[in-house]
Amino acid sequence: MENTFDSDLIHAIFKLVWSRRALEREKNEGTMNLDCEVFGLRLSFRLVQVKAGTSKKNRPTTANANALKLSCELLRVFVTEAVQRAATIAEAEGTSKIEATHLERILPQLLLDF
Amino acid sequence: MEGGGESDFEREEDDAATELLRDRFRLSTISIAEAQAKRNNMEISQPIMACISELAFKFTEQLAKDLELFAQHGGRKSVNMEDVILSAHRNEHLAASLRSFCNELKVKEPQTERKRKKTSRKEDKATTSVLHIS
């Protein structure tokens, strides 16, 4: 428990992903105006796009504080599990250093479990 | 076209921000991984550390996408604890462990009246009913 991720850091990463996705969504809506050759029509599509950008639909997602803490816990478990499983394999092989082969062995099951 | 240039600029800034976050994330991952390895009297080679942190970063990005979709599906703009637990639903043990962590958080921080009315009454009900079943 003593060692975990910082909520703010995870929040920043989440926000980055969400704003990137919001931007992509906007862009997809915006492609409509490329198909259109008439200047007047293009202008009207642009207006639609701007309206959509400020509408509720495209406002980026937010997260509450406890949800972030829980996400930090999920990520902490992910990292400790990766190390723990690799350590078990390394121990079985009689070495005291975790190497690439150990990680390779546990990776498929780890990814299935998360 | 000016719009295109602007978004290129945004993209560059976005990349710089990503790199910074990735580095901060790597540091946290390394400290967690090293602590866990020490508990086993093990060492981790540096490239493996980099692999694990890259893996965890990708996992975080995927988690962000999942949580956004879950919240949207629930008709919300804000991610709550139920969404996080839902993201681990394939692994019963993991979900149960997150559920108990979630309950701990609730006990630790009794929410203010105002917030309670707004958000958590439904949530409380949902978690307690699930607990009774299991």
Percentage of residues in chain A with pLDDT exceeding 70? Answer: 74
List, in order, residues 6 or more apart from B48 with CB less than 8 Å away: A86, A98, A99, A100, A102, A103
Joined tokens for residue A21? 């996705």
Give the Cα separation of A23 and A20 in Å (integer). Answer: 5
- Between positions 2 and 41 of A, the ones with CB within 8 A of B are 2-6, 9-10, 12-14, 16-18, 20-21, 23, 27
Task: Name, of A3-17, A41-55, A56-70, the range with top average pLDDT.
Answer: A3-17
Contact by Cβ (8 Å): B105, A69: yes
Neighboring chain A residues of B40 at a CB cutoff of 8 Å:
83-84, 87, 91
Neighboring chain A residues of B7 at a CB cutoff of 8 Å:
23, 27
Side chain identity at B122, as an amino acid letter?
K
Instruction: Give the pLDDT score at A56.
Output: 54
Contact by Cβ (8 Å): B53, B29: yes
- Between positions 74 and 113 of A, the ones with CB within 8 A of B are 74-80, 82-84, 86-87, 90-91, 96-100, 102-103, 113
Closest-CA residue of chain A to B24: A9
- The residue range of the domain holding A106 is 1-31+63-113
Instruction: Please give the full DSSP string across A17-69, using - where no structure is assigned.
Output: HHHHHHHHHHHHHHTHHHH--SHHHHHHHHHHHHHHHHSGGGSPPEE-HHHHH
Neighboring chain A residues of B45 at a CB cutoff of 8 Å:
97-100
**Contact between A114 and B94 using a beta-carbon 8 Å cutoff:** yes
- Between positions 29 and 58 of B, the ones with CB within 8 A of A are 29, 31-33, 35-37, 40-45, 47-48, 51-52, 55-57
Instruction: Give the pLDDT score at A88.
Output: 95
Contact by Cβ (8 Å): A66, A93: no
Mean pLDDT of B35-54: 94
Number of domains in chain A: 1
SS3 A99: coil
Distance from CA of B30 to the nearest CA of A (A): 9
- Within-domain flag for A93: yes
Q: Does residue B2 surpass a pLDDT of 50?
A: no
Instruction: Give the pLDDT score at A27.
Output: 87
B71: nearest CB among A12, A61, A86: A61
Domain boundaries, chain B: 7-61, 80-134
Give the Cα separation of A3 and A90 in Å (integer). Answer: 23
Structure confidence at residue B108 as a pLDDT band (50, 70, 90): confident
Place of tokens 């198909």: A35
pLDDT, one tens digit per residue, over A53-89 is 455 556 788 999 999 999 999 999 999 999 999 999 9
Give the Cα separation of A66 and B56 in Å (integer). Answer: 20
Candidates A4, A61, A81, partner chain B, best to mutate (most B CBs within 10 A): A61
Contact by Cβ (8 Å): A106, A82: yes
- Within-domain flag for A56: no
**Of B15 and A82, which is predicted with more confidence?**
A82
Place of tokens 């919001």: A22
- Within-domain flag for A45: no
Instruction: Please give the full DSSP string across B29-85, using - where no structure is assigned.
Output: HHHHHHHHHHHTT-EE-HHHHHHHHHHHHHHHHHHHHHHHHHHHHTT-SEE-HHHHH
Q: Does residue B91 surpass a pLDDT of 80?
A: yes
Joined tokens for residue B91? 């692994």
Mean pLDDT for chain B?
82
Instruction: Give the pLDDT score at A26.
Output: 86
- Within-domain flag for A36: no
Instruction: Give the pLDDT score at B58.
Output: 96
**Contact between B68 and A4 using a beta-carbon 8 Å cutoff:** no
**Of B126 and B18, which is predicted with more confidence?**
B18
Give the Cα separation of B97 and B85 in Å (integer). Answer: 9
Joined tokens for residue B109? 């921080």
